[in-house]
Amino acid sequence: MQTTAHPRRTVLAAALGLASTLALFAPATAKAQTELRLHTFVGTGHIIYTNILEPLAADIERETGGAVKLTLYPSMQLGGGAPELIRQAQDGTVDMVFSLPGYTSAQFPRTQMMELPSLAADGMAATDLMWKLLEGGYFDPEYDGLKVLGLWAADDAGLYTRDKPITSAADVAGMILRSPSAAQAGQIEKLGGTPVAMPITELYPQLERGVIDGAMVPFTTILDFRMHEVANYFTITGPVFGRSQFAIVMNEASYNALAPEHQAVIDRLTGVELSRKATQAYLDRAAESIEFVRNAEGKEVIEFSAAEQDAIRAQLSPIYSEWVAQMESQGIDGRAMLAVAGITVE
């Protein structure tokens, strides 16, 4: 016996079938966007946040057609301290971080070569040297589990103090100065000062209370961390001290989980060009900061002469052989790395 389907039942079944099909694809549509989380210690007003991280996030979302979204978490919003950031990226707690390798110097002995005194003429030359070393494999295996998206150097490290100006290297003797890394701490010691390691986020209150006398630090921090409020003397030293390094790194598994076309977007937007852009942002901010304190009431800017810079270089010159010996004790060919920078150590 032939059964004829009721027209209303046929329409209802078709509707239910369509609804089931749409329901099947709905979750896939909802999950189509991949969110990457970037954690950092700087606040929303920092030059790297406004000039590098925010544009990078916008470019990634635009060039992936919204399929990948980079969410920024400034001021350690996801917890932990600044020295923990790179480890957070390595263990996959977050997808990306912006931080300083110098905050965990022991983990980055090769990268810390950039902290050696008078290694490059300026920040841009230092950044180019870092990429030459990175691409040459000299920094392996310090970035195991990570993809380096940005790696750059800052402007010259300067000195600023609260109560006593530094007009020559001799003035450093007896001073307690904040150091951003172990290598720069060694330079303060060579000049007779006492270094104290601390992240930049802790510097303001320590300087305000007089716990320390001052700091060795890039001058971008004057405005980005409001240091002009607690420091009164700013010494432009020239390229005689080591430079802080900065990095944007990504968890390797997070990168590998992206579709190939989205990996290509990340590759295109990051790397040496992003690093040079970040370096220039620091150089411009440093110039702006110096001009600001030059014109500020009650502030004094001091500049080391060429003769004073040469005297400091001579005083710090033993650091190269000491560093090579330290690297060799860890099985690292420091001589070969310095050779890339055009420096020979006997």
How far CA 89 is from CA of 116, 234, 247, in Å, comes to 26, 35, 12
Q: Scan for tokens 């020979």, then name that residue.
A: 344
What single-letter amino acid sits at 186? G
Q: What angle do CA 209, 173, 239 make, to 5 degrees?
A: 95
Per-residue model confidence (pLDDT) at position 30: 42
Mean pLDDT (the chain, rounded): 90
What single-letter amino acid sits at 162? R
Per-residue model confidence (pLDDT) at position 32: 64
Across the chain, the runs of DSSP E, i.e. the strands, are 34-40, 68-73, 96-99, 146-153, 157-161, 176-179, 194-197, 214-218, 233-236, 245-251, 300-303
Percent of the chain with pLDDT over 90: 83
Per-residue model confidence (pLDDT) at position 22: 41
Of 91, 93, 94, 82, which Cα lies nearest the Cα of 38? 94
- Which domains, and CATH codes, for the chain? 33-154+244-283 (3.40.190.170), 157-242+289-340 (3.40.190.170)
Per-residue model confidence (pLDDT) at position 104: 87
Per-residue model confidence (pLDDT) at position 7: 46
- Name residues of the chain where pLDDT drops below 70: 1-32
Per-residue model confidence (pLDDT) at position 184: 87
Q: What residues have CB less than 8 Å from 249, skipping those under 6 apart?
A: 86, 89, 96, 97, 99, 143, 146, 147, 148, 149
